[in-house]
Amino acid sequence: MFELNDRVAMITGAARGLGQAIAVKLAEAGADIALCDLDAAWLEETAGKVKALGRRVECYGVNVADGESVTVGVKAITKDFGKIDVLVNNAGITKDGLLMRMSEDDWDAVLDVNLKGVFLCTKAAMRGMMKQRSGTIVNIASVIGLMGNAGQANYAASKGGVISFSKTVAKELASRNVRCNAVAPGFIRTAMTDKLDEDVQNKMKELIPLSRFGEPEDVANVVLFLASDASAYVTGQVLSTCGGMVM
């Protein structure tokens, strides 16, 4: 049920972190992988890991915030692989600061990548999915999009937008057998969270019923479920992957 044999998956922001873990997980399940990030050269490490699993992999320099770049990227992927079955909108950035001091540039930059990027990639990839009458879109949101967070007004707004966008796409595309769901990760162990001092890490853990940070693989497992036929009757949902921090 959790297999993706003969499926093609496009993953944005795949050079490192969650995107890399998701690429490896979907490849392990049998998918061929189209990796996208700002610079194709940054994708070498992820590509090597996918290749080692015996799957086909290609790398594309795509800026998800730029409509022209997305159109060119999706066209190239469709030409190279023949189709896109799974789209994982994972690329995301933060530019934190209290609202009082948040610049318009920092607001725009985060909304452009995190929300407009999801709109552009979904719009470009869904045409083929609608034609083939199958496909699944998985958008990486965040628990911050559900609960808000001081110092992250731009990020919270972008991720809240991704959640309501996902529900709307689910409603619009359901009749074509295309599903769309969101994953809302909590604190996931990455280079970013590792840098926090021990006190802060311990305080964060107190908020998590499972008393640990998540691993990138915890998120990748949930993406695999939503990408595969195991979730054939699941659309328009938000699956929090946060150790119970948000219920």
Ligand X SMILES: NC(=O)c1ccc[n+]([C@@H]2O[C@H](COP(=O)([O-])OP(=O)(O)OC[C@H]3O[C@@H](n4cnc5c(N)ncnc54)[C@H](O)[C@@H]3O)[C@@H](O)[C@H]2O)c1
Which residues have a catalytic role annotated?
A: 155
* Contact positions with ligand X (CB under 6 A) in 214-243: none
Using left for φ > 0, alpha for ψ between -120 and 50, and beta otherwise, residue 187 falls in beta
Q: Which of 60, 81, 165, 187 binds ligand X (CB under 6 A)?
A: 187
Q: Which of 63, 154, 231, 240 binds ligand X (CB under 6 A)?
A: 63
Check residue 15 for interaction with ligand X (CB under 6 A): yes
The radius of gyration of the chain from alpha carbons, rounded to an integer in Å, stands at 17
Nearer to ligand X, 190 or 221 (CB): 190
Nearer to ligand X, 91 or 180 (CB): 91
Check residue 185 for interaction with ligand X (CB under 6 A): yes
Check residue 87 for interaction with ligand X (CB under 6 A): no
Q: Which of 57, 91, 138, 146 binds ligand X (CB under 6 A)?
A: 91
- Minimum CB separation of residue 27 from ligand X in Å reads 17
* Contact positions with ligand X (CB under 6 A) in 121-180: 140, 142
Sole residue written with tokens 């199958």: 134
- Minimum CB separation of residue 151 from ligand X in Å reads 15
Stretch that binds ligand X, among 27-35, 119-127, 164-172, 186-194 (CB under 6 A): 186-194
* CA 120 to mean position of chain CA atoms: 14
Q: Which amino acid is at 219?
A: V
- Minimum CB separation of residue 185 from ligand X in Å reads 4
**Which string of x and - marks every residue 17-56 that binds ligand X (by CB under 6 A)?**
xxx-----------------xx------------------
Nearer to ligand X, 174 or 192 (CB): 192
Nearer to ligand X, 82 or 244 (CB): 244
Phi, psi angles (nearest 5°) of residue 7: -95, 150
Nearer to ligand X, 81 or 187 (CB): 187
Query: Which residues bind to ligand X, rule: CB under 6 A?
Result: 12-13, 15-19, 37-38, 62-65, 90-93, 113, 117, 140, 142, 185, 187-188, 190, 192-193
